[in-house]
Structure 1
């Protein structure tokens, strides 16, 4: 069956002398894998449209096994992401995370919209580190993790001082702190940020900028959840860790006025 689907290329791997195997996440059918014949040839009409991060419309011949990519019409090649090392690194992390957490021919709720919003925000120059954090938090339910962030995970209280519990995977109020000896105390601002990252669509956040320490705190919590509950290890994360240790690898950019703590 021949289908025209809107999609974004998650990864593209060479196959043989002239072909590529591409994985794309489509709006209509979720994640698909397809053979792009001749796409490695520079003159191929599939060469440009099969590059990672490309957003476009794709004509696929889908069957029981791997499909065949017949044509592609690019909507956005994500040029800024390709030309900016930091954006490339975080965009690579986003597409790898989504690829690892989703099944072929499976469609998670709102995953395409999340991927599209994230890459387009990075391509427009918004903080790629913050955008990647939004994706990490919002992909938790796709990984089978549903943190309790609207009330105390134990007594259901909505008022009081709160901390984050990895044992309960959510907030505990001060009345229940004794349940988990390893709680992470959080401020009211940090609590609001966690809820924002988990619930608010990326396009509604606008140009929110965060201090480096705030992003590090948010990353520590969400990645501990992934490490302890999901067990996903991503190759792109190693490069991000390297950038964190050696920021001189990145060109200096003008620092925007920051929000948050």
Structure 2
């Protein structure tokens, strides 16, 4: 038996009354644990059925770093209420959770990313822009996926200040003097480049108020999606749901046409 501290990323029904719980734990990274009877009415394990809840449980880690762990009883729990109740925030939380579960192998300790993940969900719970938070996570996870764009300086001149664009050819930013060396650069505006550079390195725990215009948010998202499509090869269904939700909200924002007079 052990005390297991972690954040519930997702749950899956298992048999009639049991759950498989995906936990990002402090001591063992991401694990999958069975919570027997958690779906029963009045079960003391009911809190572990809710994603985006921080818990401390009595349980057993997966044996020999393989298979399932077990959750036997609940000691503490804290739900990230706004993450659960706000539809848009919940959608981005689901995307972040999926990114984490794909990026990291199970049963491998990830101390830094565990602390970062708690900070990420704390920022979501504090009603920070969920798209901004998700973009920060996606950009900072790229090296975990084996993709490490250079956002800091032009590799040809070493310049860190100036006007830049993103280049696949040079795997990162290049300064204006070298734009003609890549016909397929992304032609990004400087606001977009600024936020891409900022988001790739900012400490999520120190994220203050960040307000981006709609065009800039779209431009940053396009670059993030471009990198994941072309270099990571990963497009989760959670992102497609967000895209559909945004399209639907856009339709609702269109005012109906006035009827013409007869």
Distance 1:244 1:169, change over 3 A: farther
Secondary structure at the residue paired with 2:177?
Answer: helix
Higher helix proportion: 2
Unaligned runs of 5+ in 1: 252-261
- Number of residue pairs aligned between Structure 1 and Structure 2: 250
Unaligned runs of 5+ in 2: 254-262
| Corresponding residue of 2:2 | 3
TM-score, normalised by the number of residues in structure 2: 0.88
1:12 aligns with 2:41: no
| Corresponding residue of 2:159 | 157
| Corresponding residue of 1:225 | 227
Q: CA deviation at 1:46?
A: 1.2
Larger radius of gyration: 2
1:113 aligns with 2:115: yes
Distance 1:186 1:161, change over 3 A: same
Q: Aligned-residue CA RMSD in angstroms?
A: 2.0
Secondary structure at the residue paired with 1:103?
Answer: coil
> In structure 1, what is the Cα distance between the partners aligned to 2:77 and 2:251?
31
| Of 165, 170, 174, the match for 2:176 | 174
Deviations 1:96-121 (A, max 9, x none): 11111111112346221222112111
| Corresponding residue of 2:239 | 237
Secondary structure at the residue paired with 1:71?
Answer: strand
Mapping 1:74-153, distance limit 5 Å: 74-108=76-110, 110-153=112-155
Q: Retained in 2: the 8 A contact 1:117–1:202?
A: yes
Distance 1:186 1:44, change over 3 A: same
TM-score, normalised by the number of residues in structure 1: 0.88
